Each structure stands twice: as C-alpha cells, then as structure tokens.
A and B are shown apart, each in its own frame.
Chain A
C-alpha cells in the first residue's frame, strides 16, 4: 500500500510566504482537489509534492507499506502535468513518447504508441512534430507521457487547461481510472473541477 505524507510544508520566495504549514496524508483511492485563488500556492504545492521544488521547511515522503521510498523509486511512481511543463519541440510525438518510455524503462513499439495516442485522442498524429501541435494537443500528449508509467500518484495542475470538450472527456476518463487504482491530486480554481476529487484542501495564500 502506497502513501504520501507531507508534514508542515512551508515555502517562501524571498520575504513572501507562499505555503504555511501544509500537512497532507494520502493513500491509494484518495483524491484531493487543491483549490484557492491565483497566487495562493497551488502550483508550488504540487511541484513540491512531485519533487520538482524543495520546500523551505517541512518534509514530503512517499511510503510503500512502512518503508520510506528513495528519490529514484518515487520518480517511477509519480507523474505530474502542469501548464509550465513542455515536451521536446523538435521531436515528433512518437519520438517524445519513445524517449520518455526508455527513461521509464518501458518498451514502446509502433503499435503501442498508436494505442496510447488513440487513448488521448491523437490517433494518426504520432509523426507530427510537437511544435506543430495546438496547445490542446500538446496538453493531450503530456497526458500520454504522464501515463506511460501507470503512475500511482498522479498530480494534475489545471487538468483541463487548453482542452476542448473531447479533451475534457478524455481527462475525465483518466481521472476516474486514477481514483480507482491510485492517488489523484488536482490543483484548480475552476469550480466544475472540484468534483474530480473527493477531498478538498483550500489554500488562501
């Protein structure tokens, strides 16, 4: 049984305190919506949980049963999607997928790439360059990359940003599956997205 424990997380940028004593504990089947106005620290919190930013104080630990996981193990279990994250412009979608698959220790043949692309609604566009994609298509490809490792912990910052109606349906499906088999954390200030998660954590900045 996997678990995420964040204890008294504080983050400051210069004199400004962005996060103050945030504590969370989430296990398999838990889903959390982090809400709050712009600048309240939602993205910062998700980045800290994903291991992309160090907290100024406090700890974030991942456990399997009671064993604390190392950075490398954690990397295999966590996926994060955010608006400030980008894939490689000068690679095609298939090349991007294949590259991140190798880094995740996964074999992807042409057929599997096609299936993944179908899953996120990009079927037949695997040989297009990432820079030629629209912002919504880029967001869908980020989902494809994030799901390569079947993440136990899926962290989504503004999960439906840039997506059209079909894209939002794809994301709803991904979120439903994740809630059944893992941990989901969503950062959003869209009221209609609060329902993606069972629990809510409000940040007031």
Chain B
C-alpha cells in the first residue's frame, strides 16, 4: 500500500472528521446536548421570567445550563466507541495522541454549537443584559476549551465503567469547579454595568487560560495510560 506519511494533524483531523460524520448521520450527542440545554433554559425562563436579577445570578444560571447540557452529551465521544465495540479497532490502529486531539476537537465543536444556540436564547428568554459582548465571547471560547479539555479525558476514563452517565457528572464536577467559578465570575463582569470590562476580568481570564492549558497538557500526557490501560 502507498504510504503517505500522514502526520499527527492529519490523523487527528481524520478522527474528528469520522466523529462528525457519524454524529451528522446519527445525531447521537447533538440531540441530547441541545435538547437538554433548551429544556433547562425554558424552565429557567419560566421561573425567573422578566425579573431583573444580579449579573452574578444570571452568570451562574447561564453556566449551570451549559455545564449540565455538556454533561449530557460530551461523554458520548468515548462511550459510543466502547458501546459499539469500535474502540478496539481504534486502539489497534491509532496512536493515542491523534485520538485524543480528534475527540477534543469534536467536543469543542459540540460545545460551540451548544453555546451558539443557548447564548442568544438566554438573552431572549431572560432579562439579562450583555454590556461587553467581546468579553462574553472570549469567556465563551475559553469556557469551551476548558470544558472540552477536562471532559474529554474524563469521558475516556468513564467509558469503560458500568454506570457511565452518573459517573461522568460526579467525576467532572470537582475537576470543573475551578473553571466554573472562573467562568461565572468573568461572565458576571460582562453582564455588569459601569466597569472597564477586560481589565476588570483579567484575573478570571488568566485563570481560564491557565486552566485550559493545564488540562489539555495533562490530558495529552495521561491519555495514553487511560486509553490503553
């Protein structure tokens, strides 16, 4: 067979492309994640209505919706491989790093879709006001990377366990807690009025960047042991 020397990037994109193609044809995770998000948001909008709440409360509600919606879908990326018994052939043919990077990319895209749907609906269905769209978008991107970075490795860990769904949320929560606190604080700055937004949120942004870098680096180092163990 003609060898093409496909590198890490090509192999990672192949895993990502395969996952997107399977997802596009089955809607396995998208349905779960988006429907959970919209349902939760609708319940929140009915209970909060058009009351004016503090920016911190809006921020917390927003990230709780994103967190639990993400919990309902992000683990599928590895659980599906185990349940359909394709994990074995993937282990036989692919090095761990492109598998992790491909799955990470898939979870980042899934979260991007979730945030792109939930964020506008959140402002339509609640009385939350966005004072700094730029800061909000930066926080969304950092949240997306941090959430995906941590949950992709956790998904690989729990995919071999019996009670996968419950274990995913239980394992993720303590690991994601620092990220969620940073996201809620940073987002509340984007909702608050009368502040210099980016500088006011600089410590939170540093935390979010550091968290993302640490999680992805640690995951890259640990994934081989989780995947092949």
Chain A contacts to B: CB under 8 angstroms? 50-52, 54, 71-72, 75, 78-80, 82, 84-91, 95, 99-108, 112, 145, 148-150
Pair B22/A72 contact, Cβ less than 8 Å: no
Q: What separation, in Å, do the CA atoms of A133 and B227 have in the docked complex?
A: 29
Chain A contact residues: over half helix, strand or loop, or mixed?
loop
Task: Pick the contact of B18: A51, A52, A75, A91 (CB < 8 A).
Answer: A91
Pair A101/B1 contact, Cβ less than 8 Å: yes
Pair A150/B86 contact, Cβ less than 8 Å: no
Chain B contacts to A: CB under 8 angstroms? 1-6, 10-11, 14-15, 17-18, 21-22, 25-26, 84-86, 88-95, 98, 228-229
**Chain A residues whose C-beta falls within 8 Å of the C-beta of B5 in the assembled complex:** 105
| Known pairs A88-B86, A105-B11 / 9 extra A-B pairs, C-beta < 8 Å | A84-B88, A87-B86, A89-B84, A90-B21, A103-B90, A103-B94, A105-B5, A112-B2, A150-B1
Pair A100/B93 contact, Cβ less than 8 Å: yes
Give the 9 A-B CB pairs with smallest separation, nearest first. Answer: A102-B14, A107-B4, A86-B85, A90-B25, A103-B94, A103-B93, A106-B1, A90-B22, A105-B6
Pair B4/A103 contact, Cβ less than 8 Å: no
**Chain B residues whose C-beta falls within 8 Å of the C-beta of A54 in the assembled complex:** 229
Q: A101-B1, A105-B5 given as contacts; is B88 within 8 A of A51 (CB)?
A: no
Q: What separation, in Å, do the CA atoms of A169 and B14 have in the docked complex?
A: 33
Pair A106/B2 contact, Cβ less than 8 Å: yes
**Chain B residues whose C-beta falls within 8 Å of the C-beta of A75 in the assembled complex:** 92-95
Q: What separation, in Å, do the CA atoms of A102 and B90 have in the docked complex?
A: 12
**Chain B residues whose C-beta falls within 8 Å of the C-beta of A80 in the assembled complex:** 92
Q: What separation, in Å, do the CA atoms of A54 and B227 have in the docked complex?
A: 12
